[in-house]
Amino acid sequence: MLTTISRRTSLAGAVLLCALGGAGWTALQGADLDRARDLVSRVQNDLQKAAEFTATNEKERVRYENVQHRLSEFDRELRRDHFDKGKLDASIDNLKDVVKKNTLESHERDALAADLSDLRTLRDTR
């Protein structure tokens, strides 16, 4: 009888530990998604600042719009607790085009290059 009680107690403890572990994992995932959303917000702010410099150049303006649109789609999925690597990859590609092809002030190029690196790191850690 003691063996049966001991097994039940161990089983209950294991179930409780798994439940708590799952809750911890969910909280950890939520924190990761929040950090990803903060990064997207920072990149979009940096893009808006950089876009002011070349507002009259149509091709450059379209590149800004493309990356902001892709980032917005990625952020929309994050808000739904879904990390969409395809949308992140598209954002990275569009941001790379902005950094390579657009006319930028040096501090804006540095900020966007750092953003590009951070987005790649985000992708690689998921």
pTM: 0.76
Report pLDDT for 18: 46
Averaged pLDDT, 111-122 = 98
| pLDDT tens-place string over residues 9-25 | 454 454 444 444 444 43
Contacts of 68-73 spanning 24+ positions with Cβ under 8 A: 68/44, 70/94, 71/40, 71/43, 71/44, 71/47, 72/44
Q: Provide the pLDDT confidence category of residue 3 given band limits of 50, 70 and 90.
A: low
Q: Domain residue spans in the chain?
A: 29-124
Q: 78, 119, 82, 77: which is closest to 98 by C-alpha?
A: 119
Angle at 22 between CA 16 and CA 23, to 5 degrees: 90
CATH number of 29-124: 1.20.1440
